[in-house]
């Protein structure tokens, strides 16, 4: 069996790092998109998996960076099987209500990374994915993108970016599913990660606790959560959380 | 009743038609331009008594439409006539002369008949001011009753704001006109805030009205929709611009104008004009992706504001007028030709009809104000 290949964005730390580590443990070759060259974790991981891990600079908000990363991957492999769009950012302006001054630069920054970034990255890697076996596009979204369940009263930048991401994924799904691509849309739960820059210590999950079910969901063809396996209907796009629950749009 | 509505993009066809509908129901209507929203100095065009240079639709409220009818009724459609000088014409709106809005000056008996039956005398189609419509070439001359649109007047000086990126390509001279706003009294209270982002074209579900000219200019998919990712308007810059246009501009307007909606006895109603394109579950796949995503973001924005402000007594409307947002790149041939395709068909009849429904939806109470629903032009509900 030939080695499977994956590309993961935002792999420096948090969920992206845990996903990269999990795939490497399974023997996958991983192209890890790195946004923080000074963050040490990927370097340490590379010492453990010198042959399987390739670290690439990747800023998903930049067209040129994404294209350069895709070209760099293409130099090393003919195809990839899995793309995990994990990179995401949050802002410390979350709680600013509409009665206070809104920061539109932050809104654009979050939209570029969280909403347009995964679409841009997916489009850039489509040719590589098309030649792969699995043809799977995975997106780390958020319950914060669920309009139907939204209970927040602010968080404009983040919630709008994630809702828009879900729409963009649905559009890619509608366009690419007939070509044989398969899709996963995932709400990872509230994790102790660094999305805001500082590590969130109040959250309920360690990234690895979310990465394990995420990988089962991303790689498998059945829902791993509810005891007996349920085949995933590849012709339907749903957002599921780390416990397998479906979230409404 | 003395209620005031503030409409974003009042010059845009749907906004204009909605403004007129609301005025016919006794509302005061104020318009705002998105180009003024990203500065700290808010600018809005405010309806006052009809001094020369006022927005025509606002002026019309004062004179009861009467003055708009007679001088124009002589014009007849001249399909295919040469239009080159239309481009150079100072294309501001004239009093009683906003051709976005149906007026009672139909060019055919059929239009007059349709209009008078369905919507009253004001509902006949006129092409958008400043656009190159062969059918209305004769109106390139300034009407005798019109004011110089570029002149300042005693009520307040015109401010010529820079058009948004791409506007000048999009609508020719009318972009300058639509960004012409007046600095004026911005402290008045607002009952109804209508966030009409973008620009609508009356073609949703009517692919056949797309013209030969239009197809030559832009790639199309079967059914007359603009091409998606392959289309010329799907560029990284355009995707970001769509977010600004359809999501951030409305939010800026809410942020800016909310303090004027707090009056004790105010209606406190915020209405979003959106599109089913933003529906994740039913939105079309060949919609330009940036625009679809931006509309979804707008739905989320509406929901978050609903969650917050409903507690203070605000009510919300989220409306899909059933009109396709206008192409950013090549709308000019499209608009010109859709009228010349069939001069007997009122270009803006779908807009007028949708605006009429919207006026009722926005002005009237709703049985369940505690649920935010994307409502279509026939009252149908669209899922998120």
Report how many Cβ contacts below 8 Å link chain A to chain B: 120
- CB of B302 closer than 8 Å to CB of A152: no
Question: How large is the average pLDDT for residues A124-146?
Answer: 97
Question: Where do the domains of chain B lie, and which CATH numbers do they carry?
Answer: 4-382 (3.40.50.720)
Give SS3 for A155.
Answer: coil
Q: What residues of chain B lie within 8 A of the CB of A249, using their CB? A: 279-281, 383-384
State the pLDDT at residue B1: 63
Nearest to A147 among B285, B294, B299 (CB): B299
Q: What is B55-97 written as a DSSP string?
A: -HHHHHHHHTTHHHHGGGTT----TT---GGGTTS-----TT-
d(CA A216, CA B6): 51
Q: What residues of chain B lie within 8 A of the CB of A107, using their CB? A: 248, 251
Model pTM score: 0.75
Nearest to A150 among B278, B300, B309 (CB): B300
Where does B261-330 have alpha helices with state H?
289-309
Instruction: Select from B280, B281, B291, B307 the residue whose CB has the most chain A CBs within 10 Å, as the one to mutate to test that interface.
Output: B280
Question: Which two three-digit tokens encode residue B114?
Answer: 């349709």
Domain that holds residue A158: 5-247
Query: What's chain A's length in residues?
Result: 249
Interface predicted TM-score (ipTM) of this complex, two decimals = 0.96
Q: What residues of chain A lie within 8 A of the CB of B382, using their CB? A: none
Taking the CA of residue A240 and the nearest CA in chain B, the distance in Å comes to 15
Which chain B residue's Cα is nearest to A164?
B293
A152 or B217: which leads in pLDDT: A152
CB of A238 less than 8 A from some CB of B: no
- CB of B49 closer than 8 Å to CB of B62: yes
Question: How large is the average pLDDT for residues A154-159?
Answer: 96
> Is the Cβ pair A156, B294 closer than 8 Å?
no
Nearest to B384 among A108, A112, A148 (CB): A148
State the pLDDT at residue B126: 40
Taking only residues 186 to 225 of chain A, the set having a beta carbon closer than 8 angstroms to any beta carbon of chain B reads: none
CB atoms within 10 A of CB B148: 13
> Is the Cβ pair B280, A108 closer than 8 Å?
no
CB of A17 less than 8 A from some CB of B: no
State the pLDDT at residue A227: 72
CB atoms within 10 A of CB B108: 16
Nearest to A150 among B243, B307, B383 (CB): B307
> Is the Cβ pair A164, B294 closer than 8 Å?
yes
Question: How large is the average pLDDT for residues A106-122?
Answer: 98
> Is the Cβ pair A164, B297 closer than 8 Å?
yes
Q: What is B219-254 written as a DSSP string?
A: -B-TTSPBPSTTSTT-SHHHHHHHHIIIIIHHHHHH
Instruction: Select from B231, B300, B302, B381 the residue whose CB has the most chain A CBs within 10 Å, as the one to mutate to test that interface.
Output: B300
Q: Residue A184 is inside which H or E element, if any?
A: strand A182-187
CB of A114 less than 8 A from some CB of B: no
CB atoms within 10 A of CB A161: 34
A40-54, A227-241, B7-21, B178-192: range with lowest mean pLDDT: B178-192
In chain A, pLDDT over 70 holds for what percent of residues?
99
A56-60, A88-92, A103-107, B32-36: range with lowest mean pLDDT: B32-36
Query: What's chain B's length in residues?
Result: 384
Q: What residues of chain B lie within 8 A of the CB of A147, using their CB? A: 296, 299-300, 303, 384
Taking the CA of residue A40 and the nearest CA in chain B, the distance in Å comes to 32
Question: How large is the average pLDDT for residues A47-73?
Answer: 98
CB of A163 less than 8 A from some CB of B: yes
Question: How large is the average pLDDT for residues A156-178?
Answer: 98
Nearest to A102 among B236, B251, B308 (CB): B251
Where does chain A have alpha helices with state H?
14-25, 41-48, 63-76, 104-110, 117-130, 156-176, 207-219
Closest CA to A124 of A163, A165, A83: A83
Nearest to B296 among A63, A152, A163 (CB): A163
Closest CA to B13 of B368, B287, B261, B347: B347
Question: How large is the average pLDDT for residues A96-110?
Answer: 96
State the pLDDT at residue A195: 87
Question: Which two three-digit tokens encode residue B8?
Answer: 């974003």
CB of A97 less than 8 A from some CB of B: yes
d(CA A210, CA A200): 15
Instruction: Select from B193, B234, B297, B381 the residue whose CB has the most chain A CBs within 10 Å, as the one to mutate to test that interface.
Output: B297
Q: Which residues of B touch A (CB under 8 A)?
A: 38, 228-229, 236, 239-240, 243-244, 247-248, 251-252, 254-255, 258, 278-281, 283, 285-287, 289-290, 292-301, 303-305, 307-309, 383-384
Structural domains of chain A, count: 1
State the pLDDT at residue B2: 85
> Is the Cβ pair B289, A168 closer than 8 Å?
yes
CATH of the domain at A216: 3.40.50.720
Q: What residues of chain B lie within 8 A of the CB of A185, using their CB? A: none
CB of A231 less than 8 A from some CB of B: no
Taking the CA of residue A179 and the nearest CA in chain B, the distance in Å comes to 14
Ranges under pLDDT 70 in chain B: 1, 34-187, 201-233, 325-347
Residue A200: pLDDT over 50? yes
């Amino acid at each position: 069996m030939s080695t499977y290949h994956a590309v993961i964005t935002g792999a420096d730390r948090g969920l992206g790092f845990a996903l990269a580590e999990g795939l490497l443990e399974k023997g996958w070759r991983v192209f890890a998109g790195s946004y923080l060259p000074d963050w040490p974790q990927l370097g340490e991981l590379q010492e453990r998996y010198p042959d399987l891990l390739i670290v690439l600079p990747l800023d998903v908000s930049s067209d040129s960076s994404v294209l350069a990363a895709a070209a760099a991957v293409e130099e090393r492999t003919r195809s990839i099987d899995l793309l995990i769009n994990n990179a995401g950012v949050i802002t410390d302006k979350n709680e600013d209500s509409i009665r206070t001054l809104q920061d539109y630069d932050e809104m654009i920054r979050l939209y570029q990374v969280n909403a347009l970034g995964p679409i841009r990255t997916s489009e850039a890697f489509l040719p590589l994915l098309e030649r792969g076996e699995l043809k799977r596009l995975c997106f780390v979204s958020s319950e914060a993108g669920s309009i139907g369940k939204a209970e927040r009263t602010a968080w404009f930048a983040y919630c709008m970016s994630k809702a828009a991401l879900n729409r963009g994924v649905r559009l890619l799904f509608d366009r690419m599913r007939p070509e044989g691509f398969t899709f996963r849309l995932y709400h990872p739960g509230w994790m102790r990660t660094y999305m805001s820059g500082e590590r969130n210590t109040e959250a309920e999950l360690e990234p690895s606790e979310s990465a394990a079910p995420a990988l089962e969901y991303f790689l498998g063809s059945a829902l791993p959560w509810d005891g007996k396996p349920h085949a995933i209907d590849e012709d339907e796009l749903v957002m599921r959380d780390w416990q397998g629950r479906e979230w409404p749009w | 009743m003395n209620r005031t509505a503030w409409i974003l993009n009042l010059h845009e066809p749907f906004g204009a038609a909605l403004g007129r509908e609301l005025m016919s129901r006794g509302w005061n209507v104020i318009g705002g331009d998105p180009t003024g929203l990203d500065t700290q100095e808010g600018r809005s065009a405010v309806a006052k008594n009809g001094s020369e240079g006022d927005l025509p639709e606002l002026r019309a409220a004062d004179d009861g439409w009467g003055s708009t009818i007679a001088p124009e009724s002589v014009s007849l459609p001249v399909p295919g006539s040469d239009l080159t000088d239309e481009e150079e014409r100072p294309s501001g709106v004239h009093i009683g002369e906003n051709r976005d809005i149906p007026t009672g000056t139909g060019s055919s008996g059929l239009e007059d008949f349709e209009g008078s039956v369905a919507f009253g005398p004001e509902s006949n189609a006129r092409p958008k001011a400043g656009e190159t419509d062969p059918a209305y070439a004769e109106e390139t001359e300034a009407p005798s009753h019109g004011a110089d649109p570029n002149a300042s007047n005693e009520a307040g000086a015109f401010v010529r704001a820079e058009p948004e990126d791409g506007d000048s390509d999009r609508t020719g001279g009318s972009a300058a006109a639509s960004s012409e706003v007046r600095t004026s009294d911005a402290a008045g209270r607002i009952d109804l805030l209508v966030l009409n982002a973008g620009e609508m074209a009356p073609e949703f579900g009517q692919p056949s009205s797309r013209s030969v000219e239009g197809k030559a200019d832009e790639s199309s998919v079967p059914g007359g929709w603009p091409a998606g990712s392959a289309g010329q308007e799907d560029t990284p810059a355009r995707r970001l611009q769509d977010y600004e246009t359809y999501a951030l501009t409305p939010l800026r307007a809410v942020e800016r104008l909310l303090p004027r909606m707090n009056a004790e006895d105010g209606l406190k109603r915020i209405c979003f004009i959106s599109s089913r394109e933003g529906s994740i579950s039913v939105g079309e796949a060949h919609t330009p992706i940036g625009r679809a995503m931006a509309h979804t973001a707008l739905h989320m924005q509406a929901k978050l504001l609903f969650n917050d402000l409903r507690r203070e007594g605000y009510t919300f409307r989220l409306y899909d007028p059933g009109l396709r947002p206008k192409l950013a790149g090549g709308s000019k041939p499209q608009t010109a030709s859709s009228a010349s395709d069939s001069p007997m068909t009122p270009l803006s009849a779908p807009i007028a009809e949708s605006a009429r429904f919207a006026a009722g939806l926005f002005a009237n109470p709703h049985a369940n104000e505690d649920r935010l629903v994307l409502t279509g032009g026939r009252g149908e509900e669209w899922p998120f």
